[in-house]
Amino acid sequence: MRKLIGYLLSIAVALAVVIDSYIVFFNGHRNSSEASEPSATTSTTATTSSKQSGGQYRNGTYTGKSVQTQWGIVQVRAVIQNGKLTKVNVLKYPDSENRSRQINSQALPVYKAESIKAQSANIQHVSGATETYNGFKGSLQDALNQAQKDSQQKESSR
């Protein structure tokens, strides 16, 4: 068992070394060409090109930290020329099943189509596109917010 852990650990270290040297290599060359996606899934290394005074970047590449998203782990790599972003590549780590797993585990939301008066239908929120605070007084949401109680009909419990 201990042997196995040691073995796994050495693989992890080797992998980390490979990832590190990959990043060093990449940024060392300040190469803007596409590189194949790294296969590791947990790298959180942020590396950037060096800065000039005033916060401006020299020509080079910015590699962001990995961010967990609904589409899996993503990381951006931006190419900087004359202090401007000229190109942004999105690196996605192999986890394309992530989204489908999520879809399958989600309970499907139940929709009921009917034009109903909101106040009479156990509604606590309105999802819409136009609401600003100026128009809020007297809005449907404002009216719903006045309710202090909500009555929900349930199947009677046995």
Q: Which helix (H) or strand (E) holds 27?
A: helix 2-29
Give the residue with the Cβ less far from another protein, 40 or 76: 76
- Short-list 3, 1, 39, 33, CA closest to 18: 39
Q: Which is nearer to another protein, 10 or 119 (CB)?
A: 119
In whole angstroms, how close is the CB of 137 to another protein at the nearest point?
9
CA–CA separation, 49 and 64 (whole Å): 11
- Quote the least distance from Cβ 18 to another protein, whole Å: 23
The residue count for binding another protein (CB under 8 A) is: 71
Interface with another protein, residue 120, by CB under 8 A: no
Could you identify the residue written with the tokens 């797993």?
Answer: 101
Q: Is 96 in the site for another protein (CB under 8 A)?
A: no
Residue 23 burial (10 A CB sphere; 0-12, 13-18, 19+): middle
Query: How many angstroms separate the Cα of 156 from the Cα of each of 123, 149, 151, 152?
Result: 21, 20, 14, 12
Residues 35-94 that bind another protein (CB under 8 A): 46, 48, 51, 55-57, 62, 64-65, 67, 69-71, 74-76, 78, 80, 83-85, 88, 90, 92
The reply on whether position 156 binds another protein by CB under 8 A is yes
